[in-house]
Amino acid sequence: MIKFDRFVLNNGLKVLVHQDQSTPMAVVNILYDVGARDEDASKTGFAHLFEHLMFGGSVNIADYDEPLQLAGGENNAYTTNDLTNYYCQLPAENLETAFWLESDRMLSLAFSKKSLDVQRKVVCEEFKEHYINKPYGDVWHMMRELAYKVHPYKWMTIGKELSHIETAQLDDVKQFFFKHYTPANAILAVAGNVETEHVKKLAEKWFGEIPSGVKYHRSIAQEPVQQEERRMTVKRNVPMDAIYKTWHMSSRFEQDYYATDLLTDILGGGASSRLYQALVKEKQLFAQINCYHFGSLDKGLFTIEGQLVKGVEMKQAEDAIEFELNKVRNELIDERELQKVKNKTESVMAFEDMSVMNRAGSLAFYELLGDGNLMNEEFKKYQDVTTADLQRIANDVLKDTNSNTIWYMAN
């Protein structure tokens, strides 16, 4: 049970405070309700590039990192298709330094030309390092385009192509900032050795005067229900064939999310999961196989990916996956097996909550979902899942007409 206080400033900034006196540290986490799904199709990769620019100096402070490091702090940030999250940790006595830094860059960035020029290059190198210069690195670029025809999940957070990043202009940066980086679009979570009253004073002092901005109302075209099976085959310079299959699944807000999440664990969560045991250990068709999803806020992708044992035919490997899927479609899962994945979920949650940093991040995330306290109700929703739910999800989601398959062949 994670206890917290919550208040909202006049400009719309939501603030959550979680006290833990066992640590000398404080964490300040700011989540902005903007991700790659909010980008223009001709300017993809922008939310993430922008995250880099948030460290290039703000209107009154030349550099973000130096003063934080001087105060004994460290920080990082990440961007997903749904959101952008910034977090820092520092000795609790120096909490105000974090408020000073974070509020100034919410007030306005410096919009430095030099910072944009350099970070464009840095992000291009990041793109190359993770998606071009790695075997199988381009698969999600293709899979997203195959699975999504309308929804902006069709591009990756890093961007659709290098040229979108290379041509980003300072004007684009300004527009993006004033549209999305406002108090009304942000959630501030403060955790650690902190007092709510003190946090309230600091929040009023540093964030209170920032104009609320216009609340951004998202109107993203949702992906129509897929009606036909989609397939593609590519040949690449990789040593082993691999198969990637996805199916559209529920959004993060639907009740079925929990059963779907557990179903991925049944099939591919760890050494006793079905796909691993049947296809890696018993039939030895795959060298590795995984089943997972991304926890996307809008309707996401239920994913199975596997690397074939050298010499195995792709058709045979795919049929073997299908054989396992038929079992979960046609037969009720054993109660003990369901209990197993619930127990694992309980354990994962407890380990995640160990760090103050994670607790702050989770509070902000659940507040984005609608209420920070969902963090405490989450496990109950997993406990309510039944074996019948799993079978229903297996039939609803894992349908051929809902599926996208890539045969990624070694040439």
Partner 1 sequence: MLNRSLAPHIKDAVEYSISLKHPDIFKLDNGIDVYNVQAGTEEVVQIEWVFKAGNWFEEKKLVASATNFLIKNGTTKKSAYEINEFVDFYGAYLNRSCYNETAVVSLHCLSKQLEHILPLVQEVFMDAILPEDELLIYKQNMKQRLAVNLKKCDFIAGRKIDALLFGDRHPYGVYSEMVDYDALNQQELLDYYNAFYKNGHCTIFSAGILPSNYQQLLNTYFGALPFNKGVVKEISHPILPSTQKKWNILNDPDGVQGAIRIARACPLPTDSEFPKLQVLNVLFGGFFGSRLMTNIREDKGYTYGIYSYLMNHIHASAILISTEAGRDVCEATVKEVYHEMEQLRLHEVGKDELLLVKNYLIGTLLGDLDGPFHIIGRWKNLILHGMDESHFRYYVDTIKTIEAKELKNLAEKYLNPDEFYELVVV
Residue closer to partner 1 (CB basis): 147 or 263: 263
Residue closer to partner 1 (CB basis): 103 or 250: 103
Q: At what angle do helices 95-107 and 196-207 cross, to 10 degrees?
A: 30
Residue closer to partner 1 (CB basis): 318 or 337: 337
Enter the tokens of residue 57.
């100096």
CB of 376 to partner 1, least distance (A): 14
CB of 266 to partner 1, least distance (A): 11
**In angstroms, rounded to a whole number, what is the distance separating the alpha carbons of residues 341 and 189?**
30
Which of 298, 296, 314 minimizes the C-alpha distance to 306? 314
**In angstroms, rounded to a whole number, what is the distance separating the alpha carbons of residues 19 and 204?**
19
CB of 185 to partner 1, least distance (A): 21
CB of 21 to partner 1, least distance (A): 10
Residue closer to partner 1 (CB basis): 192 or 300: 192
CB of 226 to partner 1, least distance (A): 31
Residue closer to partner 1 (CB basis): 45 or 152: 45
CB of 168 to partner 1, least distance (A): 13
CB of 265 to partner 1, least distance (A): 9
**In angstroms, rounded to a whole number, what is the distance separating the alpha carbons of residues 341 and 265?**
6
Burial class (CB in 10 A: 0-12, 13-18, 19+), 308: buried
Question: How many residues are recorded in the chain?
Answer: 411
CB of 282 to partner 1, least distance (A): 9
Residue closer to partner 1 (CB basis): 42 or 237: 237
CB of 283 to partner 1, least distance (A): 11
Residue closer to partner 1 (CB basis): 241 or 298: 241
Residue closer to partner 1 (CB basis): 24 or 224: 24
Residue closer to partner 1 (CB basis): 124 or 398: 124
CB of 338 to partner 1, least distance (A): 11
Q: At what angle do helices 335-352 and 374-383 cross, to 10 degrees?
A: 160
Residue closer to partner 1 (CB basis): 128 or 327: 128
Residues in CB range of 161: below 8 A, 6 or more apart: 44
